[in-house]
Structure 1
Amino acid sequence: MSVSSEKETSGGLGETIKVVIQALLLALVVRTFLIQPFSIPSGSMMPTLLVGDYLFVSKFSYGFSRHSFPYSIVPFEGRFWAGAPRRGDIVVFKLPRDNSTDYIKRVIGLPGDRVQMKNGALFLNGEEVPRERADDFVQTSPFGQEVRVPAWRETLPNGVTYITLDASPNSLADNTQEFVVPDGHYFMMGDNRDNSADSRVAGSGVGYVPFENLVGKAQMIFFSIDEDTRPWEVWRWPEDVRGERIFDMLQ
């Protein structure tokens, strides 16, 4: 091999490494400051979110804290470019118990709010939040049986409306004490009210969620597949991809 061709090979390898490093840095910037993908591992937000949904979460909606960075590696307190969430936002946050586990729930209570459940109905600041009966949510059990779950359309004072599930009327989480949300914290609940470890449930590790722990706002479902199917099993896509959910915007 000539000296010239050795230099060309070395230069080509160097350029490749440079491009790869630039691409990784760009991906890190996008993930940290703009958009991060998340997948749904549990049914706590059904029927809004299903196991097997893949979401884009905007990292800039509420500003940035140390939890905006991978593994919370940047050691600073508070948030910069902060923007407060509103009632009804679907939010990814770090579990206060360990500050590392990602949870996704809906913001129900803002700082200073009084939140309580009575007989399955939500009360905010002493007023019952309007809800009306909706069509049952229909599931198929692992044994192929049809399961119908009672559903309700709930509308918050700011007009945000969504469907909740109430599989077991007057369950433990359907009747709670009155919670008073501290300054700088938020009260989170899952839409699947009887199957959600959230701010209502003692020992869940959620409790009142500090503003600092918010990671971002769920914006859109970009992919959805049956919970028993892996995304890389492309041969199962024609049957198991939930095409009607792809590109659904969330509120």
Structure 2
Amino acid sequence: MRWFEIALVVLTFATGLVWLLDRLLFARKRAERSGLIEEKEPLVVDYARAFFPVLAVVLVLRSFVAEPFRIPSSSMMPTLLIGDFILVNKFAYGLRLPINNRKFVEIGEPERGDVVVFRPPHRPDEDWIKRVIGLPGDTVAYRDNTVYVNGEPLRYRRLGEYQGRGRGADMSGASLMVEDLPGRPHQVLEVDQTPFMDPGDGEWTVPEGHYFVMGDNRDRSDDGRFWGTLPESQLRGKAFLVWMNIDSKAGGIGFDRIGNDIP
């Protein structure tokens, strides 16, 4: 969606500039020429005056308050489903400029367990979503479907077999587990038999200014196990709410998803 962000900034700037220049330079001259007869504004000025306030409000809300995103893949199942539309808090981790994502106001930092939207270092034009597992200074390991944080294995509790729906139906039969991440227990999926898939086993030390992120669908997620740690500068915000779900293969709108918090 970076193209939309660029277009929104350009259109807001352009309409605002046209409106401002007309007010400062041309509106008074038109009034002087017209006398008692009202002279119409040029069409481009009329459109700029009408659209600039709307575009400016959308830009401010989207850049600094909350931004909508759509979940296109299964990497965060069962927490987020394919077809979920989510809202992302854009000020939780500091205010950032649109387009270049440069932080200009410090507010907070990610906590362990937060679900974050970011631009991965190897795909800087795409928005991805994962869960923060490792904080700066941590050592994170993943071996035999178990996450270790600073040498301590996380505890797991099996809930049973997962039953997928719609475009996520292929995950039916996976093991539904509760992963006891300190302070933020959450559900994850594990596929019991994946003989031809790289499980992403390894160990990583998280440097200052970086985070280690993983998807909740452990065997269907391209995450830090395969490309390393995430720089803080790539963060876009904290996901906090599902406001809509549309999956044609599940019958259309998933009303039971609307308004769900993101744990």
Instruction: State the TM-score bracket (shorter-chain normalisation).
Output: 0.7 to 0.9
Contact 1:61 1:216 in 2 (8 A): yes
2:205 aligned with 1:180, yes or no?
yes
- Percent of counterpart pairs with the same letter? 36
2:54 aligned with 1:23, yes or no?
yes
**Residue number in structure 2 paired with 1:56:** 87
- Secondary structure at 2:85's aligned position in 1? strand
Contact 2:244 2:258 in 1 (8 A): yes
Distance 1:88-1:21 versus aligned 2 partners, 3 A rule: same
**CA shift at 1:118, angstroms?**
1.9
Question: 1:185-218 deviations in whole A, cap 9, x for unaligned?
Answer: 00000000001000001xxxx4211111100000
From 150, 153, 177, the equivalent of 1:152 is 177
Using the size of structure 2 for normalisation, the TM-score is 0.77
**Residue number in structure 2 paired with 1:44:** 75
Distance 1:222-1:148 versus aligned 2 partners, 3 A rule: same
Contact 2:93 2:107 in 1 (8 A): yes
The structure with the largest helix share of the pair is 2
- How many angstroms apart in 2 are the aligned matches of 1:146 and 1:181? 31
RMSD between superposed Cα atoms in Å: 2.9
Contact 1:224 1:245 in 2 (8 A): yes
Distance 1:124-1:193 versus aligned 2 partners, 3 A rule: same
Q: Which runs of 5+ in 2 are unaligned?
A: 1-33
**CA shift at 1:169, angstroms?**
4.9
**CA shift at 1:80, angstroms?**
2.6
**Residue number in structure 1 paired with 2:154:** 129
Distance 1:5-1:191 versus aligned 2 partners, 3 A rule: farther
**Residue number in structure 2 paired with 1:34:** 65
**Residue number in structure 1 paired with 2:232:** 211
Contact 2:111 2:132 in 1 (8 A): yes
Structure number, greater radius of gyration: 2
Give aligned pairs, total. 228
- Secondary structure at 2:38's aligned position in 1? helix
In structure 2, what residue type is equivalent to 1:123?
Y
Using the size of structure 1 for normalisation, the TM-score is 0.80
